[in-house]
């Protein structure tokens, strides 16, 4: 019997409907088949966190020159590789540790997003309060995903046909625009165009959380009503 306080991640139905999912899966499988034996899923998880620290450092150091943003872009690439490959390699080698992997991977995800958005808030391009709104939106949507995994056995990895990879590409493009356009206030007064963009993304995440909470709540109500 499953302990109600400890859901079984191995039984989760992973729902991933983002645009790049199939192509990314083929690429990751190709990498897995060529990965040296000494590379482990834990090492890749650590590499992903290191990538987030690189992005944090690149944004923070951009106060001394926009060329530092290249480090942030490189960090996104390193973080994608580590974060996407750790679970893929475990599944490819049939060495999954479902509960351990679920806990460590998603704990690191929270730290990674904090590092990225805090770094962005420390840069001259985005104010910290706007960056924290985006962080709050991400964490709220993450809470919804983890709660849905517990009560429905479904772990949703994408929203609006976009997932983590699409988000990274969007942020890399935003960072390249920072290098090109600079940190001037532009047409928005105290808030830059980058503030408006990041704040809008945060607002969308919060709205998605509210909508998904209502949808999942009604679904659970119907399920439990049918069990009476």
Q: Please indicate, yes or no, if residue 5 is contained in any of the structural domains.
A: no
CATH of the domain at 60: 1.20.120.1760
**Number of separate domains in the chain:** 1
What is the pLDDT at residue 150?
A: 84
Residue 1 has pLDDT above 50, yes or no: no
Q: Please indicate, yes or no, if residue 86 is contained in any of the structural domains.
A: yes
In 177-206, which positions are buried (b, 16+ CB within 10 angstroms) versus exposed (e)? ebbeeeeeeeeeeebbbbbebbbebbeebb
What integer is the mean pLDDT of 22-33? 88
Does an H or E element contain 155, and which? strand 154-156
Q: Which residue has the tokens 């964490």?
A: 139
Q: Please indicate, yes or no, if residue 126 is contained in any of the structural domains.
A: yes
CA–CA separation, 188 and 94 (whole Å): 52
What is the pLDDT at residue 153?
A: 80
| Residue-by-residue DSSP string for 56-92 | HHHHHHGGG-GGGHHHHHHHHHHHHHHHHHHHHHHHH
pTM of structure? 0.85
Is residue 56 within 8 A of residue 119, CB to CB? The reply is yes
Q: Please indicate, yes or no, if residue 4 is contained in any of the structural domains.
A: no
Q: Please indicate, yes or no, if residue 190 is contained in any of the structural domains.
A: yes
Residue 3 binned pLDDT confidence (cut-offs 50, 70, 90): very low
Percentage of the chain with pLDDT > 90? 57
What integer is the mean pLDDT of 17-34? 84
What is the pLDDT at residue 204?
A: 92
Is residue 111 within 8 A of residue 52, CB to CB? The reply is yes
pLDDT in tens, 142-187: 898 888 888 888 777 666 666 788 888 999 999 999 998 876 555 4
Host domain of residue 89: 11-226
CA–CA separation, 73 and 59 (whole Å): 9
pLDDT in tens, 42-99: 999 999 999 999 999 999 999 999 999 999 999 999 999 999 999 899 999 999 898 8
> What's the gap between Cα 30 and its chain centre?
22
Mean confidence (pLDDT) of the chain: 86
Residue 9 has pLDDT above 60, yes or no: no
């Amino acid at each position: 019997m499953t302990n109600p306080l400890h859901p079984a991640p191995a039984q989760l139905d992973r729902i991933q409907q983002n645009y790049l999912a199939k192509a990314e899966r083929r690429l990751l499988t190709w990498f897995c088949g060529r990965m040296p034996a000494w590379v482990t899923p834990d090492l890749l998880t650590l590499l992903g966190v290191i990538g987030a620290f690189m992005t944090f450092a690149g944004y923070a150091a951009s106060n001394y020159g926009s060329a530092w943003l290249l480090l942030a872009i490189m960090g996104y690439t390193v973080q994608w590789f580590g974060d996407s490959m750790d679970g893929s390699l475990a599944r490819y080698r049939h060495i999954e540790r479902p509960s351990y992997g679920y806990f460590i991977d998603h704990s690191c995800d929270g730290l990674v997003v904090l590092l990225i958005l805090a770094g962005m808030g420390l840069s001259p391009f985005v104010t910290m309060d706007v960056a924290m709104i985006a962080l709050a939106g991400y964490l709220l949507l993450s809470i919804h995903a983890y709660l849905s995994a517990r009560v429905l056995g479904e772990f949703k990895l994408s929203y609006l046909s976009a997932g983590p990879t699409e988000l990274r590409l969007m942020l890399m493009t935003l960072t390249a625009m920072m290098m090109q356009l600079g940190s001037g206030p532009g047409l928005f007064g105290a808030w830059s165009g980058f503030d408006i963009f990041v704040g809008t993304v945060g607002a969308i995440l919060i709205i998605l959380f509210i909508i998904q909470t209502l949808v999942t709540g009604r679904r659970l109500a119907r399920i439990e009503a049918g069990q009476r």
